[in-house]
Amino acid sequence: MFDVIIAGGGPTGMMLAAELRLHGVDVLAVERDAEPPLAVRSLGLHVRSIEIMDQRGVLDRFLAAGRRHPIDGFFAGIAKPAPPDLDTAHGYVLGIPQPVTDRLLAERAAELGAQTRRGAEVVGLAQDDDGVSVELADGTALRSRFVVGCDGGRSTVRKVLGVGFPGEASRVETLLGEMATTADIETITEVMTDVRRTQVRFGLMPVGDGFYRVIVPAGGITEDRTVPPTLEDFRQRLRAVAGTDFGVHSPRWLSRFGDATRLADRYRVGRVLLAGDAAHVHPPAGGQGLNLGVQDAVNLGWKLAAEVRGRAPDGLLDTYETERRPVAADVLNNTRAQMELMSTEPGPQAVRTLLAELMDFDDVNRYLIEKITAIGVRYDIGDGHALLGRRLRDVRLGRGRLYELMHDGRGLLLDQTGGLSAAGWADRVRLVADVSEELDVPAVLLRPDGYVAWVGDAQAGLEAAMSRWFGEQA
């Protein structure tokens, strides 16, 4: 019997597996696909996900495999530079293809002891008071205390649970693939610059060795988007949108995606939970999808681990839904807005022009950037200091950096007074008596996901916060 079975071995599932293993939870991830997919559905990591990798001590791996880019043009493709004083030590977007991200997260989970079975599809499950029975397509029966469905927008786990997935079906469809061209870079750049004045869902991005990542609007909606488009489909649509097919040939992979927008009614039914695309789907505008799933996993991991170990305070696991579902709802709304702004119709184009003017105001630009990069997220954990419920940026301490002290996945008490104690919670909270010129508070308590749970200098208030988020004293 496993502690947790994760259905789905993509970025959300692998991040969750790693987070659970930090707390000694026995984890098995089962993935339907026998081999990792080659399609590059996500191009990179936003600020909050980069911070998470830094908090867990693996950012160097991602930096070595990726490329830093300015935070520019992510809201509906409107090119405005980020404010120079954005509240983060990582003011960039990390360009890294999803297959590489998938591999690095899978390697991390394996290093920590998570087990993964590929070519293993969940087809059924049943739960009782003691655990969950899981049925695989080959007839294998498994048993675990909890199950988390990270199995994508067509989630079998969600369907078996009977959880509703309301929202809107796709209205537009986009073709995406990697292929070579006979056209030279000068011609491609000239045509793309002209077309993208009105059609933002179009582009050819060089990916090396003469290949390009091609994106172009489809001519209609396909009933079954699991069936990939053909090279001829790309040629026809490129000629229709750009007046040339650029001589595309030799495709590496071809895919399509729609703009369906849906949010699960519930994130938890008993011992079964949903995360990532199994809980929410939305258009890829702003590049938020993979990041949203990874951040789901980091929010859920320590809470589920506490539940498994019998150390969770009442209601802790339920805060996963109450915190993350509103975040997903906000992402759905901002992608809806972005898709409208990408329309070539005169009305949306007029609104796009107006918004571009408004983004010249620093506060407007900052607000939208913080929304896309998820550093503006604030969980509702009560009234009080402005930092409560927010993630804390990496700050310099007298001895090193804050994020260097969070690799083990425990909570962290940064005490600048030198007079506070975390006795009784030492197995769950690291006490750091140090100071930072960048932090103007006496002390701050961080949850394992990096969000502020308490600010102050009173021992009684601190102990109440530690009991609320980490359980009773040992």
CA 247 to chain centre: 35
Q: Residues spanned by CATH 3.30.70.2450 within the chain?
A: 173-256
Alpha-carbon distance 52 to 279, whole Å? 21
Digit-coded pLDDT (tens) for 424-456: 999 999 999 999 999 999 999 999 999 999 999
For range 403-421, the mean pLDDT: 97
More confident residue, 111 or 85: 111
Record the tokens describing residue 113, joined without a space: 């002891």
Nearest to 353 by CA among 197, 190, 217: 197
| pLDDT over threshold 80, residue 228 | yes
| pLDDT over threshold 90, residue 85 | no
For range 107-115, the mean pLDDT: 98
Contact 241, 195 (CB under 8 A): yes
In terms of DSSP bridges, do strands 429-433 and 411-415 run parallel, antiparallel, or are they unpaired?
parallel
- HSE-CB of 251 using CA atoms within 13 angstroms: 20
Digit-coded pLDDT (tens) for 376-396: 999 999 999 999 999 999 999
Contact 369, 82 (CB under 8 A): yes
Q: Grade residue 72 by pLDDT with cuts at 50, 70 and 90.
A: confident
| pLDDT over threshold 80, residue 254 | yes
In this structure, whether the domain defined by 173-256 belongs to CATH 3.30.230.70 is answered with: no
Digit-coded pLDDT (tens) for 271-324: 999 999 999 999 888 889 999 999 999 999 999 999 999 999 999 999 999 999
| pLDDT over threshold 80, residue 330 | yes
The pTM (predicted TM-score) of the whole model is 0.94
Record the tokens describing residue 55, joined without a space: 């908090």
Nearest to 72 by CA among 404, 324, 309, 373: 373
Contact 359, 76 (CB under 8 A): no
CA 214 to chain centre: 23
Tell me the CATH architecture of domain 2-167+262-373.
3-Layer(bba) Sandwich (3.50)
DSSP one-letter code for 403? G
Contact 428, 471 (CB under 8 A): yes
In this structure, whether the domain defined by 396-470 belongs to CATH 3.40.50.150 is answered with: no
| pLDDT over threshold 90, residue 38 | no
CA 340 to chain centre: 23
* Number of helices and strands in the chain (H, E): 12, 24
pLDDT score at 391: 98
Helices marked H in 215-318:
231-242, 289-308
Alpha-carbon distance 105 to 410, whole Å? 19
Mean pLDDT taken over the chain: 94
Alpha-carbon distance 347 to 341, whole Å? 9
Q: Residues spanned by CATH 3.40.30.120 within the chain?
A: 396-470
Beta-carbon contacts of 339 under 8 Å, excluding residues fewer than 6 positions away, are 172, 259, 283, 285
Alpha-carbon distance 432 to 449, whole Å? 17
Alpha-carbon distance 146 to 412, whole Å? 27
| pLDDT over threshold 90, residue 41 | no
Alpha-carbon distance 273 to 231, whole Å? 39
Nearest to 275 by CA among 374, 372, 151, 391: 151
Q: Residues spanned by CATH 3.50.50.60 within the chain?
A: 2-167+262-373
> Which amino acid type is present at position 427?
D
